[in-house]
Amino acid sequence: MKINRAYKVELSPNNKQRTLLEKSVGVARFAYNWGLNERIELYKSEKKSLTAIDQHKILCSKKKTEFPWMYEVSKMAPQEALRDLDTAFKNFYRGIKKGQKVGFPKFKSKHKSKQSFSISFGFYVTNETINIPKVGYVRLKEKGYIPTKDVKINSMTVSKDADKWFISVQVEQDIPEPSNQIESVLGVDVGIKTLATCSNGETFENNKYLKKSKKKLARAQKNLARKKFNKETKRSSNNRNKAKLKVQKIYKRISNQRIDALHKMTSILVKTKPRYIVLEDLNVSGMMKNHKLAGAIGDASFSEIKRQLTYKTAWFGGLVIEVDRFFPSSKMCSVCGCLKEDLTLEDRIYICDCGNVIDRDLNASINLEKYGLIKLKHTDSLSGIKACGESVRPVQVCMIEKAVSVKQEGNLSLAKIL
């Protein structure tokens, strides 16, 4: 089975190579801003638009006379930047047609935007180095990590984070065909107190890396706020640049800790080889509007969990199913199917009149598992599995089946049928 996969490694450039990488980032940013300005002016005057190819031809014709310094870096850096601009406009127009709120492409800032550039061909990867056009052979800090045999290298992206340089190489490679999956469904309930609770009883604690580093981050930000910044020239002092770098390093460490924990958790889940993983379709953007919980929700990274589970499950031949966001997974008893409308976030133990006393998150994950089984029964996607076992009560089955049918019809909310 062929998949597209990216391998990201830290670079170890010398001073000359660092300067060339900085110039490449600057040229890519300039090309993006130049292309955006040209499109805006053309639309104002003639109500027309240009493609990335058209703009690249115009830019090449102006290089010798107006922008000779662009020859110091690879010609693909501005070319790929214009392609990114073209993609941004396509996403903007597509969002307007669908009625979605998609922002208009913005100009990139030297200090706030991500510092990166892409190259689609002309580079060569070895076990220890990578040859970047106009930069030369740059050493890799992690040797032998990027595959070089039996793969097709599509593109690479060089980026700067804090004071470190990284390269992400996208390759197309063959992986073994997925073996026979265990005929089972795994319900996963994500939360703040416990990051993930599975229907098989396995739990993953939320380490709350941002909260642990909050005091250290606050001191660094306070120190940064005291440093001088000239608003007229928009230049910072050397001490301010050093203080800014300390803040960036703290944020980078928090990000690395979070990503490492999420990758380990999702890998453990998919390596148990469940055929289907059931998640809630959470309204994360709406949840972030709660200022008391926004920081904790952002630190938990619910969307990243879903993204990683989606592609990793596909590698093992499985599938991720999303439950309708109005499905009362937490309020419904996993034994008798009764709803507890007065359940609040403070209630961590679910106590039902039928005698069921269970952890709130575990109860929700079991309901998610049963939802997945019944939905698969409706869609005939799961053969050989009994969707409704003895542990599923008739009242609960009826309620979940209604939710499944409403999810498929897409014109009613679950609240209207309960």
Closest C-alpha among 215, 224, 213, 226 to residue 247: 224
**Residue positions annotated with a catalytic role:** 189, 280, 361
Element (H, E) at 3: strand 2-12
Can you say whether the dihedral through the CA atoms of 171, 172, 177, 182 is positive or negative? positive
Contacting residues for 104 by C-beta, under 8 A, at least 6 apart: 92
Phi, psi angle pair for 302, to nearest 5°: -65, -40
The number of angstroms, rounded, from the C-alpha of 177 to the middle of its chain's C-alpha atoms is 26
Find out whether 73 and 111 touch, Cβ atoms under 8 Å.
Answer: no
Q: Which two tokens stand for residue 53?
A: 């190819």
The 10 Å Cβ neighbour count of residue 234 is 9
| Residue 14, burial from CB neighbour count under 10 angstroms (0-12, 13-18, 19+) | exposed
Phi, psi angle pair for 157, to nearest 5°: -130, 125
Closest C-alpha among 183, 193, 198 to residue 364: 198
The number of angstroms, rounded, from the C-alpha of 276 to the middle of its chain's C-alpha atoms is 21
Closest C-alpha among 193, 207, 191 to residue 305: 191
C-alpha to C-alpha distance for 80 and 26, rounded to whole angstroms: 13
Identify the three-state secondary structure at position 57: helix
Residue count (the chain): 418
